[in-house]
Amino acid sequence: MVRILEQLQEVVRKGGQASSIAKLLGFHVTHVEPGSATVEIEITDQYWNPMGTLHGGVLCDIADAAMGLAYAAGLNDDESFTTIELKINYLRPFKEGHLKAVAKTVHRGRTVGMLDCDVVDERGKVIARSSSTCLTLREEQTKGRNF
């Protein structure tokens, strides 16, 4: 577990943008430890849907990233994972400003874990709530892991 966690915490120390998707969307990992992680993003009109509000896919991406990081931070060095289920509820529209996706582990078993994530604005208002189920991969299933 130590090596993966150390690598993820090094990403935070270096500005939080190691993955291609983080660079593409412009989000930053600001906190990671086993069982919790935070991803932050500044929303402008470039993220809007045709209705003039934040596209739901961006909310889903940052929530998925935060939950995945929270889960990955608790893996052993010989493990990987995949998300097997993801759900999101959009609770209010959002246009511009700073968002935080704050993820935490609800349950972690030997093979399956469940995480929750609230995406909140600068005032602490919940914009979206998400949950995911992750499956720990071992042995041959870990080939191709990037951390």
Provide the pLDDT for residue 139: 77
Phi, psi (5° rounding) for residue 35? Answer: 95, -5
- Taking Cα atoms as reference points, which of 92, 96, 33 lies closest to residue 66? 33
pLDDT by 10s per residue, the chain, length 147: 568 889 999 989 998 887 899 999 999 999 999 999 999 999 999 999 999 999 999 999 999 999 999 999 999 989 999 999 999 999 999 999 999 999 999 999 999 999 999 999 999 999 999 999 999 999 766 666 555
According to the model, what pLDDT value does residue 3 have?
86
88 touches 130 (CB < 8 A): yes
Q: Which domains does the chain have, with CATH numbers?
A: 2-142 (3.10.129.10)
Between CA 32 and CA 3 the distance in angstroms is: 13
* Residue reference for tokens 């604005």: 121
What is the value of pTM for the model shown? 0.91
